[in-house]
Structure 1
Amino acid sequence: MQNMDNIYLITDIPGYTPQISRLLSMMNYARHTTIEAVKGMTQEQLDYLLDPQSNSIGALLLHFASVEYAYQVSTFEKRELTEEEETIWLPALDLGGAGREHIKGHELGYYLGKLEEVRGRTYDLFRTVDDSWLNEQEEFWYGKQGNHYFQWFHVFEDEINHRGQIRLVRKRIPQ
């Protein structure tokens, strides 16, 4: 899936059109830096909360997978999450109290597995479209138009934003 030898190249990826390749390249770099930020963390560290209102690192990792999954459903399948999918993904998608209650007790491999599983599906789905699909517009936020390119930019932009939180929380975990 990810060619880590070329992680610093935003370039063509065999089997994908040029702009989709570049989008995936950027997503891969964001994911690479996320994985580096959590390398070696224990279950206790992944569950650590700075305060009663904060999100754990584990919850943020699962949030990345849930956002990506939700955008797969929205942009490729043109539908909302089903009740069954909401049961699985909503605590991580919304975070907050539900995330604190439901997302804990997992080792790092659990979260990395979810991230890899969802990213693999993203790769499969992107194989089915071309660059013109990225420009397709639809109603997005607050009744405004957004294209698929922006929506998928937001998937990894959200990860980059929350990765800053991960780094902050990791530095604050008592030794």
Structure 2
Amino acid sequence: MKATENPSRRSFIGKTIALSSTFAITGMAFKPKEQDYKIEEGITVIGPRNGYTPLIGTLVSMLENMTSQVKNTIKDLTIDELDYQFDDNANTIGALILHITSSEKYHQIGTFENRPLNEEELKFWFPARNLSDPSSKSIRGNEIDYYLKIMDDVRKDSLTGLKEKDDAWLLSLDGNLSTPEAPLNKFWRWFHACEHMSNHNGQIKFLKSRLP
């Protein structure tokens, strides 16, 4: 006859396994930058990167992969194509490119410096950040290299800043946007920068497919 397991023993074992898993995950997340395993790097490899803590490195790999997809979408567009507007309510591809980059800049400054964009920064970024504002129509007349350089400059600042941070920082609550009712951490802000890029890359692809 099969012995019946004590319910309290099952509960103890279950809690022990859960606690051990938590320690394992936490230990991996807060591991030092010097890794004891081989890191494979490549645009289609999502995971840790040399010089970054594991979670931050994985975030970097996702940002770089998504950016490569956006660049592949826009790399051959002409000024006329970048400025083409289907109707008065539509955004141009050029404006969307700067909008994507403005989001990364916004979260970059928000998490690294714990502040919103200042007045000087808003002079440049406001039209792209707020596409519903009439000022967004001023984003035109630029070659693709203009947009690619801005993307690269902002990313360079992001990578420099992220290299100085660790996973504990990434997982910590954001001092600007988090509230007791709706906690929000820095990882979410950077994840949002990445998925925001993905969302608008689809929009850009759609507009590109409809260009005359």
Aligned pair 1:63/2:95, yes or no? no
1:140 corresponds to 2:181: no
Instruction: Please state how far the C-alpha of 1:128 moved relative to its aligned partner.
Output: 1.1
The answer to whether structure 1 residue 151 and structure 2 residue 189 are counterparts is: yes
1:107 counterpart = 2:171: no
In the alignment, is the contact (CA less than 8 A) between 2:130 and 2:136 conserved in 1? no
Equivalent position SS for 2:45: coil
RMSD: 1.5
Report deviation, 1:6.
1.1
- Unpaired runs of 5+ residues, structure 1, are none
Using the TM superposition, name which of 110-119 and 136-145 deviates more. Answer: 136-145
Q: Choose from 137, 140, 160 the match for 1:124.
A: 160
- How many residues are matched? 170
Distance 1:172 1:99, change over 3 A: farther
Alignment partner of 1:160 out of 198, 202, 205: 198
How much does 1:49 deviate? 1.0
Contact 1:56 1:100 in 2 (8 A): no
Correspondent of 2:72 among 29, 36, 44: 36
Give the letter aligned to residue 32 of structure 1.
S
Shift of 1:65: 1.3
1 or 2 for the larger relative contact order (CA 8 Å, sep ≥6)? Answer: 1
Matches within 5 A, 1:44-83: 44-83=80-119
Q: Secondary structure at the match of 2:184?
A: strand
| Deviation readout 1:139-165 (Å, 9 max, x if unpaired) | 637862111111100001001001111
- How high is the TM-score relative to the length of structure 1? 0.92
Q: Unaligned stretches of 5+ in structure 2?
A: 1-40
> 1:140 is aligned with what amino acid?
L
In the alignment, the residues of structure 1 paired with residue 130 and residue 136 of structure 2 have an alpha-carbon distance, to the nearest angstrom, of: 11
